[in-house]
Amino acid sequence: MTTNLAPTRSNLMKLEDNLKFATLGYELLDQKRQILISELLALVDQAVDYQSRVDSALETAWDTLSKAIMEMGRLKVGNLCGSTNIEYNINVSQRKVMGVAVPVVETTFSDKGPYFSQESSNIIAELGIQQFSESLELMGRLAELKVSIMRLSREVKKTIRKVNALEKISIPETQETIKYMKSRIEESERESFILLKSVKDRLEKQKELKNKKQNSKKNILKAEIVSEKE
């Protein structure tokens, strides 16, 4: 409660405006918190799914590579890997979630084949290349989800701190200050009313006493005039 403000009507109106603003801010921040948490939970579910897909894709790709080495030999597979001509592009953009910038990762591939002879290759090698490309694309999406989760988590923590500060500190303190100031203003108005009433009563008594004196002087004057006539 703030007690260093003078208990005046103008300060009371300012405090009530501050309370309305703080209440509105609390409602907006609470909505933001709910939306962020909902978005965060959705991203966490997606991240869990993509993590399992990445693990599975990498395991499958490594198994395919191992099979290619067993069938073609390590040297031949190494030569084929060195002759591949696949270009990739990872484009990172942004989107906004309640003012929070989260990344959007898009992975594209440009295959400028053929880069080896079909006679000297094996279908398993081509399958392995395709599987590793798919794994890279999934890893880009997983990285997008993990970075988004970290940023949204930080924003959720900040929003929760602000909501708690408004709900448990700012708004209650302002309400207590308004209550205290209203009681002081009412007390001051009662004292002023009593003082004014006391002054009014005193003035009325003085006026009444003055009228009595004037009436008494008039009666004395009339009596003197009547006695002179007699």
Which domains can be identified in the chain, with CATH numbers?
A: 9-178 (1.10.287.3240)
Instruction: Give the separation between CA 225 and CA 14, rounded to whole angstroms.
Output: 70
pLDDT confidence of 89, banded at 50, 70, 90? confident
Instruction: Give the mean model confidence (pLDDT) for residues 130-137.
Output: 87
Residue 133 pLDDT greater than 70, yes or no: yes
Q: Which region among 64-68, 105-109, 148-152, 224-228 has the lowest average model confidence (pLDDT)?
A: 224-228
Confidence of residue 119 (pLDDT cuts 50, 70, 90): very low
The percent of residues above 70 in pLDDT, for the chain, comes to: 83
What pLDDT was estimated at residue 230?
A: 56
Report the pLDDT value the prediction gives residue 220, as an integer from 0 to 100: 63
Mean pLDDT of the residues in the chain: 82
pTM, two decimal places: 0.69
pLDDT in tens, 168-219: 999 999 898 888 888 888 888 787 778 888 887 787 777 777 777 666 666 6
